[in-house]
Chain A
Amino acid sequence: MAAPLPGSERIPLAVEALSVAYGERSAVDHLSFTVRPGEIYGLLGANGAGKSSTIKAIVGLVPPREGHIRVFGVDAIANGLAAKQRIGYVPETSLLYEALTPREFLEFVASVRHLDAGTASTRAESYAAAFRLETEFDEPIAALSNGTRQKVLLIAALLHQPPLLVLDEPLHSLDPRSVRIMKELLARYVATGARGVLFSTHTMEIAEQLCHRVAILDRGVLRAEGSLAVLRERGAHGDETLEEIFLRLTREDEGLDAAVRALEGL
């Protein structure tokens, strides 16, 4: 087991030269970034840019081809179990144990996270009230809407109050009230200065509102990284929106006008 690097125990997430491939197709190519303590870090990219592949490698779902992942100094590849104990994860698709109820599912998660009954119950009660889940707490997950499943996953990720939250498109099916709660919750979550959040999205407005720094991925490669202010400074003029910066850096703006014009006749 690799020993933590000196000083790295405080860094929520350090990804170094990470490469992920599916067969011969490369999904992520030598990606490096760090989530600092007290930071919400956004991974931005178009569909297929490598956001979800990066996240899946971090949480142990995909074996990386190359590179290192450290969670608070723990090597997540060599010691996946220890890294997983420090992570709360929300996947992009809410595929859960359909035959369990939210209560049964959260009880299972609390068990494998070694939480005591008092702590687990208090936290579950608070989150269930915040997300208005009490009325569906004993319904089978198979009968829940996508948004409600997403709330169950969020509660499961937060239940052990992990020092690192890894959220893959966590707000996409939530109602406006829950989105507001999540934004508040994430801001407070990192306010202690010790925790970190990795957040993937392709909704620029959300990234603009929530993230302290963002990484822009394009076909598995890091195109730019920094706060919105830093990215604006690098632009042609200083008042670009994140969407404009994103489209320019990923060259997604090339031929955009022509594509829109082509649709006019339809």
Chain B
Amino acid sequence: MGWREAWRISNVAFTELSLQAIYALRQGNSVFGDRAERMVRRARRRVVQSKTIVALVLLFLCAGAAFLLHLAPAITTRPFFGVFVSVPVFDAGVLTGLISLDLAFLWWTGLQVLPTFLASGVLAVLEPLPIDDRTLGRAAGLLYLRLFDLPALSVLLATPLFVGAVLGPGAGVAILPGVATGVAFALALALLTGRAFVRRIQGSRGGGGPTLVRWTYLVLWVLPAFAMFGLVVAAPGLVALVARTIQGGPSVATDLLLAAFPFTFAVLPPLAAGTGSLFLAPASAVVVAIASAGYLLLASASAVWLMGAVRRVGIAPPLAAREVDARSIALFPQSAARAVLTKDLRIASRTPGYAFLILFPALDGLAIGLFTFVTGTGTNGAFALGLGAVTTSALLATFFGPAFFAIEVNAYSYGRTLPIRDSSIVLGKTALVATIYLVAAGLVLGLTALRVDRPLTFFEFIAAELPAVVAAAFVELGILFRRARARGLPIVNLYSGAFYAVLVAIPGLILAALPLLAYRLAPGAAPVAWMGLVAVAELAAASPFALWRSGGRST
């Protein structure tokens, strides 16, 4: 049995994986009254849609980078933080950013989908069958690759095309090793770190100490994804830093920079286009050649490791419980809505996808708050930056809100038998969204307030937006509840449910944005009052939709 047989087996396994990813039957979701063939077809379609959305995001990044490369001659006429950057250095900087973003986005996507991949148990089903080890390994590897096929292919094909169109065909070909290496690293990192996460976090005990350790670990976990965001925000400063190092002439720092991934590969297109020699000394070219060869070797080793490791990870024994006497068996019940909030936070603390949604806005608030605090941006600058950060927090919390509904697929077939009102679930999840907004905005407020002379206005701005965030969460959850009643729960994780998450978030984003718009356009001297008025009106309109019509029922 060879690759052909492995492909055939991976086909069957991928169908099962798609079904599990969309319907989460092994996670306790319940779906009734639908024909199996229709469910399978729908699952396959949804997975393709989700992969297409991820591919489109990557294509968007690629097009954005190409646009920057095209504008490079105009952009570089002005200094970056006091440094004039040459066009080839700017090009290398942009391509470094592009490869880094591709790698981080694919890695993050992998982390989203890996828990579903492991929970589906599709590889364990294949093990007892009379299939030789090599074919099983290949089938497992192909199955894993198929999770990323559209996004990875779009990066591998589109990047050379876009770069080639701007910098010339040679440059297009020259970027390919860097992109391929980035993809190989991303896929290997997702498997390696995802498995470690399942062992250390999903297997972590309950209680205060382990919870603290778990959240600390999760902050570290989110940092690479946050770095992706930071890279975009801090791009001009990074380009200036790179230019200062490279344009200063040959040095150890230059060689270290040239040997660092993905900068090693990012200098190849300018070299191929004939402009790279302007900043690259012959000795440094040797560094680039050696480093490139090293990274290509490492990427090949990663690919080989990946093909074998997927099977090992997929059939690894489940988590084992330790037998430790509980301190006490005391239980502390809460109100139903608070119990939903607590349950969601506890599940999020053992699920990277959900933890990310909670931590990302908070880290964003912290980073911008620290920036204004440390740099001491002038009062007006700090004020504007702070309002921008609060706006981002509101929009992020609203955008991520629908994803928390997906937690309900866990043990849905059991949860539906409990006497819990829909309104309690809506209130619990809305409280979580509002908490995320307030924590993120609070961090900005706490750090920025020290730099502005209008902290009260700043506080009023945060408070005025709060009803809009709640209204947005109400509308999003109201839509999802109605759909859940009609056709079952639609979202399983951010990857397989990206289609719904984006779709449902649109009305929420509009609701969250309207008061911010009112603040900008408000007549007279009290824009915060106008903002608050719009937000409260939205909340009054959204509440019946989410609470009254579902109040006495249980899903």
Please tell me if the beta carbons of A23 and B205 are within 8 angstroms of each other in the complex: no
Please tell me if the beta carbons of B413 and A101 are within 8 angstroms of each other in the complex: no
Of the residues A61, A112, A134, contact of B419 by C-beta under 8 Å: A112
**Chain B interface (Cβ within 8 Å of chain A)?**
26-28, 30, 32-35, 119, 202-207, 318-326, 329-336, 338-339, 342-343, 346-347, 349-351, 410-411, 413-414, 416-421, 424, 552-554
Give the complex CA separation of A22 and B332 in angstroms. 40
Please tell me if the beta carbons of A80 and B326 are within 8 angstroms of each other in the complex: no
Question: Which of A108, A137, A142, A148 has the most chain B CB within a 10 Å cutoff?
Answer: A108
Residue of B nearest to A96 (CB): B411
Please tell me if the beta carbons of A128 and B329 are within 8 angstroms of each other in the complex: yes
CB distance from B326 to the nearest CB of A (A): 4
Q: Which residues of B contact A80 (CB under 8 A)?
A: 553-554
Give the complex CA separation of A143 and B323 in angstroms. 11
Please tell me if the beta carbons of B324 and A111 are within 8 angstroms of each other in the complex: no
CB distance from A188 to the nearest CB of B (A): 21
Of the residues A89, A99, A111, A136, contact of B333 by C-beta under 8 Å: A111
- The size class of the interface chain A forms with chain B is 35 or more
Of the residues A95, A97, A125, A137, contact of B347 by C-beta under 8 Å: A97
Q: Which residues of B contact A103 (CB under 8 A)?
A: 206, 326, 329, 331
Q: A60-B554, A97-B347 are in contact. Are A125 and B329 (CB under 8 A)?
A: yes
Give the complex CA separation of A135 and B336 in angstroms. 28
Which one of A35-43, A116-124, A238-246 contacts B? A116-124
Q: Does A187 contact B (CB under 8 A)?
A: no
Please tell me if the beta carbons of B331 and A120 are within 8 angstroms of each other in the complex: yes
Please tell me if the beta carbons of B419 and A84 are within 8 angstroms of each other in the complex: yes
Q: Which residues of A contact B28 (CB under 8 A)?
A: 95-97
Of the residues B207, B332, B339, contact of A112 by C-beta under 8 Å: B339
Q: Which residues of B contact A85 (CB under 8 A)?
A: 419
Please tell me if the beta carbons of B417 and A134 are within 8 angstroms of each other in the complex: no
Question: Which of B27, B319, B333, B554 has the most chain A CB within a 10 Å cutoff?
Answer: B333
Q: Which residues of A contact B338 (CB under 8 A)?
A: 111
Please tell me if the beta carbons of A135 and B552 are within 8 angstroms of each other in the complex: no
Give the complex CA separation of A26 and B339 in angstroms. 38
Closest 8 CB pairs of A and B: A95-B28, A111-B339, A101-B206, A143-B319, A84-B419, A137-B326, A99-B350, A135-B323
Give the complex CA separation of A153 and B413 in angstroms. 13
Q: Which residues of B contact A93 (CB under 8 A)?
A: 413
Q: Does A16 contact B (CB under 8 A)?
A: no
Give the complex CA separation of A40 and B28 in angstroms. 28
Please tell me if the beta carbons of A124 and B554 are within 8 angstroms of each other in the complex: no
**Chain A interface (Cβ within 8 Å of chain B)?**
22-23, 59-63, 80-82, 84-85, 87, 89, 91, 93, 95-101, 103-104, 106-117, 120-121, 124-125, 128, 134-140, 142-145, 148, 153
Q: Which residues of A contact B323 (CB under 8 A)?
A: 135-136
Question: Which of B325, B343, B351, B418 has the most chain A CB within a 10 Å cutoff?
Answer: B418
Of the residues B321, B413, B424, B553, contact of A139 by C-beta under 8 Å: B321
Please tell me if the beta carbons of B420 and A112 are within 8 angstroms of each other in the complex: yes
What are 8 A-B residue pairs whose CB atoms fall within 8 Å in the complex? A108-B343, A117-B330, A135-B326, A136-B323, A138-B206, A140-B350, A142-B318, A142-B319
Please tell me if the beta carbons of B410 and A97 are within 8 angstroms of each other in the complex: yes
Please tell me if the beta carbons of A84 and B554 are within 8 angstroms of each other in the complex: yes
CB distance from A105 to the nearest CB of B (A): 8
Give the complex CA separation of A96 and B415 in angstroms. 9
Please tell me if the beta carbons of B333 and A138 are within 8 angstroms of each other in the complex: no
Please tell me if the beta carbons of B205 and A140 are within 8 angstroms of each other in the complex: yes
Of the residues A63, A107, A114, A144, contact of B332 by C-beta under 8 Å: A107
Of the residues B35, B346, B351, contact of A104 by C-beta under 8 Å: B346
Q: Which residues of A contact B206 (CB under 8 A)?
A: 100-101, 103-104, 138-140
Give the complex CA separation of A101 and B347 in angstroms. 10
Question: Which of A82, A85, A103 has the most chain B CB within a 10 Å cutoff?
Answer: A103
Give the complex CA separation of A139 and B318 in angstroms. 13
Q: Which residues of A contact B335 (CB under 8 A)?
A: 111
Question: Which of A84, A112, A114 has the most chain B CB within a 10 Å cutoff?
Answer: A112
Give the complex CA separation of A148 and B34 in angstroms. 32
Please tell me if the beta carbons of A104 and B414 are within 8 angstroms of each other in the complex: no
Q: A81-B554, A95-B28, A110-B331 are in contact. Are A140 and B203 (CB under 8 A)?
A: yes
Residue of B nearest to A166 (CB): B417
CB distance from A117 to the nearest CB of B (A): 5
A23-B33, A120-B331, A128-B329 known; 13 other A-B pairs, CB under 8 Å? Answer: A22-B32, A62-B32, A81-B419, A91-B413, A95-B26, A95-B28, A95-B413, A97-B410, A108-B343, A111-B342, A112-B419, A115-B331, A138-B207
Please tell me if the beta carbons of A143 and B330 are within 8 angstroms of each other in the complex: no
Q: Which residues of A contact B33 (CB under 8 A)?
A: 22-23, 63
Of the residues B325, B413, B418, B554, contact of A109 by C-beta under 8 Å: B418
Give the complex CA separation of A148 and B30 in angstroms. 22
Q: Which residues of A contact B416 (CB under 8 A)?
A: 60-61
Residue of A nearest to B205 (CB): A138
Give the complex CA separation of A114 and B323 in angstroms. 30
Please tell me if the beta carbons of B27 and A143 are within 8 angstroms of each other in the complex: no
Residue of A nearest to B204 (CB): A140
Give the complex CA separation of A91 and B418 in angstroms. 12
Please tell me if the beta carbons of A111 and B27 are within 8 angstroms of each other in the complex: no
Of the residues B333, B410, B420, contact of A107 by C-beta under 8 Å: B333
Of the residues B27, B339, B349, contact of A95 by C-beta under 8 Å: B27
Q: A60-B416, A84-B418, A143-B319 are in contact. Are A110 and B333 (CB under 8 A)?
A: yes
Q: Which residues of B contact A137 (CB under 8 A)?
A: 326, 329
Q: Which residues of B contact A120 (CB under 8 A)?
A: 331, 333
Q: Which residues of B contact A153 (CB under 8 A)?
A: 414
Q: Which residues of A contact B326 (CB under 8 A)?
A: 103, 128, 134-135, 137-138
